[in-house]
């Protein structure tokens, strides 16, 4: 006889605040220090040098992390877990990620598995992490030449975006992140997409008032999609526009092409494939290409090692037993999911 025991489990509260302002981080970190949150810090090495005054005097509570794709690894993850254990972290402790997307990803993953989950707070310091990686709860590390293949969905307790961190970014790093704003506009908001296009020079010149509006809208658009599909079973997959090919480009280039620039190339070649196969119109492709060209993104890529590129593509999370999943968008900036695409057919688009 089989007995069925039904148990309704209330999942962890997924709601949290995203605070966007200028000159707010010192006040917020002081609050964490003085309100018994027992904070521990994972801090990007460069940030630790530029913003050393933000960190607590007790340096034993600070783990300095050299943020690069190589260090987004099991080896570094274990070191962070050892750091938490050495500092007697408990279920009530809070881990603060102070850095860009790589720092936030590995910190979130470390928090999600230590004692089966401790609180963590995202303090993104790059444009890319402000509008993308700090929001949505994706955490992870790289493994076996595949990006972010081991990780978890684990939401932060809070995201603190201080616009002043942008002052230390060079133009390349800023545009590396801005590709993610173009992406989210391209799959969800035609009006926002057109506003970006019309104000390209002001954005390149980093008009702070305009950037405040753009970052806010970028966060809202991503948050709305994540709310509908937290665990990426359907609609959230739209946020992977450009990423199917981007991750393979990053690996094929030995990370000489950084994430945002790879996403820009990914959007171009995925759209090119979409036109060739009749999924989208030439008008849709032209709109995406013109936008990326306007911001001076690289628009052509030559695969260095076809086997390496193909292997990275097949190991990617967007690959299934039935083929590759691709995200496209139409001339009205409405994203769509196209599944079961043959990987070898897809990379042939680079030969045209």
Q: Please determine, for residue 320, whether its predicted confidence score (pLDDT) is greater than 90.
A: no
Whether 259 is catalytic is yes
DSSP 8-class letter at 2: P
Q: Which of 183, 247, 287, 318 is labelled catalytic?
A: 247
- Local confidence band at 4 (pLDDT 50, 70, 90 cut-offs): low
Q: Please determine, for residue 138, whether its predicted confidence score (pLDDT) is greater than 80.
A: yes
- Local confidence band at 2 (pLDDT 50, 70, 90 cut-offs): low
Q: Please determine, for residue 323, whether its predicted confidence score (pLDDT) is greater than 90.
A: no
pLDDT at position 57: 79
Contact of 245 with 266, CB cutoff 8 Å: yes
Q: What is the pLDDT of residues 48-57, one digit of tens each?
A: 999 999 998 7
- Give the CATH architecture of domain 175-351: Up-down Bundle (1.20)
Q: Which of 28, 183, 243, 287 is labelled catalytic?
A: 243
pLDDT at position 3: 62
Give CA–CA dist 225/184, Å, rounded.
Answer: 10
The mean pLDDT of 261-281, rounded to a whole number, is: 97
- Local confidence band at 268 (pLDDT 50, 70, 90 cut-offs): very high
Whether 296 is catalytic is no
Q: Which of 222, 287, 317, 318 is labelled catalytic?
A: 222
pLDDT at position 146: 86
User: Three-class SS of residue 165?
Assistant: helix
Q: Which of 76, 158, 180, 270 is labelled catalytic?
A: 180
Give ranges for CATH 3.40.50.1970 in the chain.
Answer: 17-168
- Local confidence band at 58 (pLDDT 50, 70, 90 cut-offs): confident
The mean pLDDT of 325-330, rounded to a whole number, is: 96
Whether 49 is catalytic is no
The mean pLDDT of 241-261, rounded to a whole number, is: 96
Beta bridge partners of 324: 319, 341
Q: What is the pLDDT of residues 154-194, one digit of tens each?
A: 999 999 999 999 999 999 999 999 999 999 999 999 999 99
Q: Please determine, for residue 352, whether its predicted confidence score (pLDDT) is greater than 60.
A: yes
Q: State whether CATH 3.40.50.1970 applies to domain 17-168.
A: yes
pLDDT at position 316: 78
User: Three-class SS of residue 339?
Assistant: strand
Residues 6+ apart with CB under 8 A from 346: 244, 245, 273, 313, 324, 326
Average pLDDT, the chain: 93
- Local confidence band at 296 (pLDDT 50, 70, 90 cut-offs): very high
pLDDT at position 168: 93
Give ranges for CATH 1.20.1090.10 in the chain.
Answer: 175-351
Q: Which of 72, 138, 183, 317 is labelled catalytic?
A: 138
pTM score, two decimals? 0.92
Q: Which of 116, 170, 300, 302 is labelled catalytic?
A: 116
From residue 53, give the alpha-carbon distance in Å to each of 25, 48, 56: 11, 9, 8
- In angstroms, the first-to-last Cα distance of the chain is 63
More confidently predicted of 3 and 72: 72
Whether 206 is catalytic is no
Helix (H) or strand (E) holding 99: strand 94-99
Whether 164 is catalytic is no
pLDDT at position 278: 96
- Local confidence band at 35 (pLDDT 50, 70, 90 cut-offs): confident
Whether 76 is catalytic is no
Classify strands 323-329 and 319-320 as parallel, antiparallel or unpaired. antiparallel
| Look-up of token digits 């933000």 | 54
Q: Please determine, for residue 5, whether its predicted confidence score (pLDDT) is greater than 70.
A: no
Q: Which of 76, 158, 232, 270 is labelled catalytic?
A: 232
Whether 240 is catalytic is yes
Q: Which of 72, 148, 240, 250 is labelled catalytic?
A: 240
Q: What is the phi/psi pair of residue 324, to 5°?
A: -90, 145
Whether 247 is catalytic is yes
Q: Which of 72, 147, 236, 317 is labelled catalytic?
A: 236
């Amino acid at each position: 006889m089989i007995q069925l025991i039904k148990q309704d489990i209330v999942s962890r509260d997924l709601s949290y605040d995203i605070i966007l302002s200028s000159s707010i981080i010192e006040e917020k970190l002081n609050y964490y220090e003085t309100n018994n949150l027992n904070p521990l810090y994972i801090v990007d090495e460069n940030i630790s040098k530029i913003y050393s005054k933000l960190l607590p005097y007790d340096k034993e509570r600070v783990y300095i992390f050299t943020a690069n794709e190589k260090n987004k690894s099991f080896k570094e993850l274990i070191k962070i877990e050892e750091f938490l254990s050495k500092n007697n972290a408990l279920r009530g402790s809070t881990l603060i990620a102070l850095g860009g997307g790589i720092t936030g990803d590995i910190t979130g993953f470390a928090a999600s598995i230590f004692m089966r989950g401790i609180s963590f707070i995202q303090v993104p310091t790059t444009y890319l992490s402000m509008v993308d990686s700090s929001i949505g709860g994706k955490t992870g590390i790289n493994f076996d030449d595949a990006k972010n293949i081991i990780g978890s969905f684990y939401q932060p307790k809070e995201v603190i975006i201080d616009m002043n961190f942008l002052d230390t970014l060079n133009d390349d790093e800023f545009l590396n992140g801005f590709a993610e704003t173009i992406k989210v506009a391209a799959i969800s908001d035609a009006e926002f997409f057109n506003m970006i296009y019309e104000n390209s020079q002001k954005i390149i010149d980093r008009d702070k008032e305009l950037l405040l509006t753009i970052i806010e809208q970028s966060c809202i658009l991503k948050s709305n999609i994540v709310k509908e599909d937290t665990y990426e079973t359907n609609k959230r997959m739209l946020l992977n526009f450009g990423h199917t090919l981007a991750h393979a480009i990053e690996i094929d280039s030995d990370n000489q092409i950084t994430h945002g620039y790879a996403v820009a190339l990914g959007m171009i070649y995925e759209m090119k494939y979409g036109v060739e196969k009749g999924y989208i119109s030439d008008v849709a492709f032209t709109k995406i290409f013109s936008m990326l060209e306007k911001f001076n993104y690289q628009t052509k890529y030559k695969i260095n090692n076809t086997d390496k590129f193909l292997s990275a593509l097949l190991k990617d999370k967007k690959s299934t037993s039935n083929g590759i999943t691709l995200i496209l968008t139409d001339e009205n900036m409405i994203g769509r999911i196209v599944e079961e695409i043959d990987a070898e057919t897809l990379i042939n688009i680079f030969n045209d």
